[in-house]
Amino acid sequence: MTKEKIKCGIIGATGYAGVELVRILSTHPQAEIVAVSSVSFEGQQLSDIYPNLRGICDMTLEGADEIIPRCDVIFGSLPHGLSEPFAEKCLSHCAVFIDLGADFRLHNEEDYSEWYGKRYEHPELHNEAVYAIPELYRDEIKGAEIIANPGCYPTSVALGLAPAIRGGYLEKGTVIVDSKSGVTGAGRSLTQGTHYPDTNEAFAAYKAGVHRHTPEIEQTLSEIAGEEMKVTFVPHLLPVNRGIESSIYVKLRDGVSFDEVYAAYAAAYENELFVRVQPKGSYANLKNVRMSNYCDISLHFDKRTNMLIVSSCIDNMVKGAAGQAIQNMNLRFGLEESCGLDFVPPAF
């Protein structure tokens, strides 16, 4: 275990994922926040932007270039297209870069160009990057210098389907992913679609079939399967602050029983700290993972159609963003994976 505390810096500390990093790292026993950065609020104290941090993190927000040389690890909580220059500077200063944005998630530059409308400015950096769902890529993360923190929707889907794919239980064909997210998933900048009168007491799909997390979901599932997998992905906006529930529909092969699949899930996640397979007949619920790094999975079966129905729940700000990033930091620096993340979800 690391003797000295890991020196952490956060670029984009005033965004929702950035301030969640501050919240969790503030009580991490083996890490300390030494610097925070924001373009929009440079020169102001973070606690002036988020008064809940008063007396906890009153640091002055600095320029990103100023903080990198003082840190062992930099968390980049940035919109897509901005992370590559910071990753390059981190490498030159021997700092690990953990990117909560999308720039290092996709292996294929053509996919990135198609879905995000940009090209790689530093293609060589992508050879150093590791896509980092801890439960699936643990060994690769331990030696990584650039860590691509997964998207929130893809995390819920990959953890929800990995045991079924690895067990060879599924018929070939399109996977249907029906996901719902809290409003924080849209980020801190206000848009008409996230304006209170438009989201309160409302529920609707958005970006059906064209959401940017689609290629990331397909990339991860295809790697698990060892062959190409396609998904139909439809996200929805829930009138809640945080949380994701993904309902995933896949057809079982003939001769595969629901009991067999359930046993495979129980075995796959038996020793995982943050994945909880629910008892048969129970349903994963956003309420039970809120403010935590847990992923709760429940399994259901439609015997008339031979369809397996997986419900996968995470907190999009924790397991879907800041918590998973810290879990990756713990792995990279040889800490206990649960270090600083072993908080209990509130009951209400």
Catalogue the E-assigned strands of 182-329: 204-205, 231-237, 244-251, 275-277, 295-302, 307-314
Averaged pLDDT, 306-322: 98
pLDDT per position as a tens digit, 87-127 = 999 999 999 999 999 999 999 999 999 999 999 999 999 99
d(CA 290, CA 315): 5
Instruction: Enumerate the active-site residues.
Output: 152
How large a percentage of the chain has pLDDT more than 90?
91
Are residue 168 and residue 274 in the same domain, yes or no? yes
Q: At what angle do helices 16-25 and 323-332 cross, to 10 degrees?
A: 50
Beta bridge partners of 180: 236, 245
Sorted by sequence, the CB contacts under 8 Å of residue 118 that are 6+ apart come out as 80, 81, 112
Are residue 260 and residue 295 in the same domain, yes or no? yes
Residue 341 lies in a domain: no
Supply the pLDDT for residue 134. 98
d(CA 290, CA 316): 9
Residue 282 lies in a domain: yes
Are residue 193 and residue 309 in the same domain, yes or no? yes
Residue 108 lies in a domain: yes
How many domains is the chain built from?
2
Supply the pLDDT for residue 2. 45
Residue 72 lies in a domain: yes
Are residue 28 and residue 98 in the same domain, yes or no? yes
Q: Which residue has the tokens 């045991």?
A: 163
Are residue 203 and residue 289 in the same domain, yes or no? yes
Residue 217 in contact with residue 157, Cβ under 8 Å?
Answer: yes
Are residue 170 and residue 276 in the same domain, yes or no? yes
CA 131 → CA 134, 147, 195, 216, distances in Å? 9, 6, 33, 10
Return the biggest CA–CA distance within the chain. Answer: 64
Are residue 304 and residue 222 in the same domain, yes or no? yes
Are residue 119 and residue 158 in the same domain, yes or no? no
Are residue 208 and residue 284 in the same domain, yes or no? yes
Containing structural domain, residue 282: 153-316
Averaged pLDDT, 281-292: 98
Query: 3 falls in which pLDDT band (50, 70, 90)?
Result: low
The Cβ of residue 118 has, within 10 Å, a number of other Cβ atoms equal to: 14
pLDDT per position as a tens digit, 182-239 = 988 776 666 766 777 878 888 899 999 999 999 999 999 999 999 999 999 999 999 9
Read out DSSP for 15-49? Answer: SHHHHHHHHHHTT-TTEEEEEEE-STTTTSBHHHH
Residue 321 lies in a domain: no
Residue 331 lies in a domain: no
Are residue 30 and residue 69 in the same domain, yes or no? yes
Give the pTM. Answer: 0.95
Give me the CATH number covering residue 12.
Answer: 3.40.50.720
Give me the CATH number covering residue 192.
Answer: 3.30.360.10
